[in-house]
Amino acid sequence: MTAHGAERDAAREGAAPAEGRGWLGYALAATALWGVWGAFIEIPEKAGFPASLGYTVWSLTMIPCAAFALGRVGWKVHRGARDIALGASAGLLGAAGQLILFETLRLGPAYLVFPVVALYPLVTVILAYTLLRERVSRRSWTGVALAVVALPMLARQEPSGQAAQTKLWLLLTLAVFLMWGVQGYVFKLANLAMSAESLFFYMMASGVALIPVALAMTDFTQAINWGLSGPWAAVLIQSLNSLGALLLVYAVRYGKAVVVVPMAALAPVLTVLLSLGIYRVIPHPVVITGMVAAAAAMVLMAE
């Protein structure tokens, strides 16, 4: 049987993979949601609600998204050992990477951390191309290359004078870079073994399982905003993140990881545009150049 075992027998009794450009709608929607999420994510933290508690809220908002997805397929969850391992791996790579990023930003300068982490789709592309044998047109490859160039530009941060407390920040940065890059590959691998709904369920469970770690990272001796601008605002904002993650799972299932992951990673383009309108922040010329490259990449990849 060809095509990865007919997409591994349509992800073992899940809905049959869509043909044509069905993946594109999911990928664009995920990118849009993450772009809006990025524009507002700092609001709760600046209002006194720690980022570690924001992680807790995010993991809890994954639950209704998982329930919605499973409800569409009759609450069927693939429960084989390989299914659990792949699903948990996808979830832990993303969630643990987020928690490690919190510590990384405490130890090292954001203007160096973010451009490196932003290149994580490069790992996904290499793994999907070499291990999954994913092939796309020259036009799409040009788009992928442009996306890789644009990502560190979009992640540019102004130097703040923050000095790295230890070289550990560099190792942690590389760890997040690798974890998120491998996660994109695992997304596709898992989608070939189980339904997208089952995969998202295990991602949700993995994220929730790490809540104690996030709570341990929280300094409860400091004043915490428990009002509307704190956890309640975080619920609304993090729901965009969770829904975007669900749509990305569908996009990777129906599309190719070498294209979908770099496309979704270009969400900062929308974040910058929204920040320009909301906060009246004029982007640095490097960021503007990255936005132009990203726009061209989106057009080329959306063939």
- Number of domains comprising the chain: 1
Instruction: Return all residues near 175 (Cβ < 8 A) that are at least 6 apart.
Output: 97, 100
Choose the weakest-confidence range: 51-60, 127-136, 180-189: 127-136
pLDDT at 8: 47
The confidence band for 303, taking pLDDT boundaries of 50, 70 and 90, is low
98 or 112, higher pLDDT: 98
- List the structure tokens of 284: 């640095």
Instruction: Return all residues near 183 (Cβ < 8 A) that are at least 6 apart.
Output: 90, 93, 94, 97, 124
pLDDT at 7: 44
Residue 3, domain member (yes or no): no
pLDDT tens digit sequence for 253-266: 999 999 999 999 88
Q: In the predicted model, is pLDDT for residue 219 greater than 60?
A: yes
Query: Do 35 and 270 contact (CB within 8 A), yes or no?
Result: yes
Query: Do 197 and 87 contact (CB within 8 A), yes or no?
Result: no
Residue 23, domain member (yes or no): no
Residue 18, domain member (yes or no): no
Stated pTM of the model: 0.86
Q: In the chain, pLDDT over 90 holds for what percent of residues?
A: 57
- The rounded mean pLDDT for the chain is 87
Residue 11, domain member (yes or no): no
Residue 14, domain member (yes or no): no
Residue 95, domain member (yes or no): yes
Residue 284, domain member (yes or no): yes
Dihedral sign, Cα of residue 206, residue 93, residue 263, residue 140: negative
What is the Cα 1 distance to its own chain's centre? Answer: 32
The confidence band for 226, taking pLDDT boundaries of 50, 70 and 90, is very high
Q: In the predicted model, is pLDDT for residue 59 greater than 60?
A: yes
- List the structure tokens of 112: 């160096």
pLDDT at 180: 95
The confidence band for 56, taking pLDDT boundaries of 50, 70 and 90, is very high
Residue 255, domain member (yes or no): yes
Please give the average per-residue pLDDT across 152-160, as a whole number. Answer: 77
pLDDT at 288: 85
What is the Cα 85 distance to its own chain's centre? Answer: 19
Query: Do 115 and 227 contact (CB within 8 A), yes or no?
Result: no
Domain span holding position 252: 30-158+167-301
